[in-house]
Chains A and B, each alone.
Chain A
Amino acid sequence: MSAAQIRFATLWRREVSRFMKIKKQTLGGPLLETFLYITVFGAALGSRIKELHGIKYILFVIPGLIMMSWATNAFTNNSSSILQQKFQGAIHDQLSSPASPLELLLAFSLGGFVRGGMVAVITCAVAFVLVDLPVDNILVLIPALFLVGFFFSQLGVLIGVRAEQFDDVAFAQTFILQPLIFLGGVFYSASLLPQPFQTLTHFNPIYYMISLVRYGFVGYTEISIPIALLALTAATAALFAFNLRLFTQGYKLRA
């Protein structure tokens, strides 16, 4: 391995080792939360609703839950990790190393990406076994999940860098992210909503992310898949470019 490869691998390993050391909180908690959602909305509510657009309700809900767990874990991990390191001053060890802004940004991003991915993969595996979750279009599903994971990893990095106190991270998560996810159609179909809520849902970017992942699993969609994939790719690339600019400038990282 070259010095640059060792450097990047170590930066990334530090991010993974952080959440692996507290896996009851970082993996166990999110998994339990996801399974509670599946139990409540799938088993309990599902016995009443039965089907949505010809799809068993539990199968309609699980793709959204998988997307939600990857998104929230990627976001929470990265925002918390960066803010904690800023508080401790420990981030100076990485910042004073020869690592480039790109290496630092990617390493910080991939910590949360991996954590969210682990939660999503375990949830998928359990869903495949217990409720026979189908995969209708893997060529949409894989890029959609990776893009969602990477987008929220970038968002977590952005909030972590900008944040000056833990309240800032909690605010973004509780008052912006959670409502957008819950109102994005994880538990219901937007086409069933009365107006103006149906139209308003179309202004929520997370609605398109959930729709992409749902299409990948069960083949149902209310949106144009190519346009949504293109828009998500463009949004992720734009956010990444914005973060790279912040890291290059040293915004709130270097005095």
Chain B
Amino acid sequence: MSDKALHIVDLAKRYPTGVEALRGVSIDIEPGEFYGLLGPNGAGKSTLIHCSTGLAQPTGGSIEVFGHDAIHDYTAARQAVGLAPQEINLDHFLTAEETLDFHGGYFGMPKRARRERTEELLETFSLTAKAGDRTRTLSGGMKRRLVLARALMHRPRLLILDEPTAGVDIELRLELWHYVQKINQEGTTILLTTHYLEEAEQLCSRIAFIADGQIAAEGSSDDLAARFGVANLEDAYLALVGRNELSRSRVEGIEEIAL
């Protein structure tokens, strides 16, 4: 039994179509860590998250969440995980309040605890005035906040954020950053996937690059830059995907000509 928040060994996922989304991925995330997972679209980030939360079934390897086997001892493992998925997947039949209340119920929270936690989260995410509104009537930013509130409803020890700030405005992005930093400091372990490199640099103590279903590199932002022999995380990422020509140092030169 592992003492890690997330302990993944040699994880493989092959879809019935034959696509190999994950090819022997191994990562360890320490309790209380803020861990980033970066990679191009289709690299396997969401598949890894889905395997860790029971939404996809691995074809090989093992996953443990705080020492609980996520495949065979899934009740305890899933109880410890909160997922804010990439796609907004709110139930259109429910109000904002019901969305949180039902989620709490799915995780076995008693009624009073659900009511108190729902009020707290609606307040935290500035959704109190919209508590009784059906989710389909909420704005995009409100939906995004509600998805995050829902993931936090059962007080997970491991919070998985799959591109949480995709398509949100600057104020909301900064609000979300502040909030997740706060709960991380309070002890919640966080796994973040993002396409915004400054987000990963700002928030994550350790970052893994995933490409073609495999972990290509792992370390701090500076470690990764050093590994690829470049100046910063963005250039390291461009080196990973083989697009060094897009490095800002080169593009800045082109801008001068264009202007």
Contacts and interface: CB of A to CB of B under 8 A. Distances in A.
Interface of A: 1-4, 6-7, 9-11, 13-14, 17-18, 21-22, 84-85, 88-90, 92-100, 250, 254-255
11 contacts: A1-B110, A9-B105, A11-B106, A13-B102, A17-B94, A89-B89, A90-B89, A96-B83, A98-B75, A98-B79, A254-B57
B108 interface: yes
B105 A10 contact: yes
Interface of A is mostly: helix
B108 A6 contact: yes
Interface residues of B, number: 34
Given A11-B106, A96-B83, A97-B106, A255 B56 contact: yes
Interface of B: 15, 47, 50, 53-57, 74-76, 78-79, 81, 83, 85, 87, 89-94, 98, 102-110, 150
Contacts of A18: 93
A208 B32 CA distance: 61
B55 A7 contact: no
Given A96-B55, A98-B79, A88 B50 contact: no
B135 to A, nearest CB: 9
A96 B81 contact: yes
A95 B109 CA distance: 17
A7 B89 contact: no
Contacts of A9: 105
Contact of B57 (A1, A2, A250): A250
A92 B55 contact: yes
Nearest to A5: B108
A14 B108 contact: no
A85 B102 CA distance: 14
Nearest to B98: A17
A6 B110 contact: yes
B87 A89 contact: yes
A7 B108 CA distance: 5
A93 B150 contact: yes
Given A88-B92, A98-B74, A254-B57, A93 B106 contact: yes
A98 B107 contact: yes
Given A17-B93, A88-B92, A93 B110 contact: no
